[in-house]
Amino acid sequence: MKKIKLVLMSCCAPCSAGAIKQLADGEFPETSDFIVLFYNPNIYPQTEYQKRLDEQIKHCESLGVKYAVGDWDHNNWLEYVHGLENEPERGSRCSECFKYRFKFAQQWALENGYNAIASVFGVSKHKDQSQVDTSANDTISKINYLPIIWNESLRSEINKKAGFYRQNYCGCEFSFRKV
Ligand code: SF4
């Protein structure tokens, strides 16, 4: 059987910590290799993007896990979701946002020798895993999409100890929450 070379799409360290630990510990023996891909042009403003990226890199480097970073093409992302600005979180803007990032990930995986994609986009309590999976299945056709449900208690245990920088909104300017 062909071994899986997985691209794990991550939006931030707190969401990805459990998944990275599971993959690094070899919980998925059919996966021979994995890399964390941080491609999040949806995040606004750029200072916030940089904070999440820095935390992601710090976490990957502390574990010796490979990572790659895509461009912060926020203006293109804004054009892509134009007309959906007033949609609620988990609405159609989010479906398109997932698709935008999955499309990039598929191309990136093909160009870099990976044959499967998974993500942690659905792990937050504000997210809907089935919506993430639908967006992925609508977008990823040339390689495999793995709809993995990550271990939530492991993620929360790591988060309690790690003291990661933690944001209080999903990412885009339309998802700011009142605190
Ligand atoms: S709320 Fe999050 S998933 Fe939805 S469009 Fe904004 S950044 Fe993307």
Question: For atom 5 of ligand 1, which residue has the closest CA?
Answer: 94
Q: Which residues line ligand 1 (CB under 6 A)?
A: 42, 89, 93-94, 97, 170-172, 174-175
Give the bridge partners for 36, in sequence order.
8, 67
pTM for the predicted model, two decimal places: 0.96
> What's the one-letter identity of residue 56?
Q
pLDDT tens-place string over residues 47-78: 999 999 999 999 999 999 999 999 999 999 99
For residue 11, the CA-to-ligand 1 centroid distance in Å is 10
Q: What's the gap in Å between 26 CA and the centre of ligand 1?
A: 31
Q: How far apart are CA 150 and CA 22, in angstroms?
A: 8
Question: Atom 2 (ligand 1): residue with closest C-alpha?
Answer: 170
Those residues with Cβ within 8 angstroms of residue 52's Cβ, 6 or more apart along the chain or in another chain: 11, 12, 13, 40, 43, 165, 167
Which residues are CB-contacts of 2 (< 8 A; sequence separation ≥ 6)? 115
Reported as a pLDDT band with limits 50, 70 and 90, residue 116 is very high
Residue 115 is classified by DSSP as -
Index of the ligand 1 atom closest to the CA of residue 96: 5
pLDDT tens-digit profile of 16-29? 999 999 999 999 99
CA of 1 to the centre of ligand 1 (A): 36
Q: How far is the CA of 169 from the centre of ligand 1 (A)?
A: 9
Sheet containing strand 31-38, edge to edge, reads 67-69, 31-38, 4-9, 116-119, 144-145
CB 13 within 8 A of CB 58: yes
For residue range 82-111, list pLDDT tens digits in order: 999 999 999 999 999 999 999 999 999 999
Structural domains in the chain, CATH included, are 4-175 (3.40.50.620)
Query: Measuring from atom 6 of ligand 1, which residue has the nearest CA?
Result: 172
In contact, 9 and 15? CB cutoff 8 Å = no
